[in-house]
Amino acid sequence: MLIVLIAAAAVYLITNHWLHILDSLPYLGVVLVMSLCMFGHGSHGGHGGSHQGHGGQESGDASGRPGSSGGAGHVH
């Protein structure tokens, strides 16, 4: 019953306040991009310190190409 009430309220707000929703879309886009930048890079480390890549190896080989140091390279 609660889900039906929430759905009815959402339909009512969307149909009667469509212009307000359209006005807020640019701001929602900015918030989305900022949150993806903040939370999407969680596994890539931060500033400074040693950084391990996806394969568990140090990410400081000379050329930056996979397999150039004789290892397996950047493996997903």
Tell me the DSSP string of 8-19. HHHHHHHHHSHH
Of 39, 36, 69, 38, which is closest to residue 55 (Cα–Cα)?
A: 69
19, two tokens: 């212009």
Going by pLDDT thresholds of 50, 70 and 90, the confidence category of residue 38 is confident
- 39 is written with which tokens? 């939370």
DSSP SS3 for 71: coil
Q: Which pLDDT band, with edges at 50, 70 and 90, does 26 fall under?
A: very high
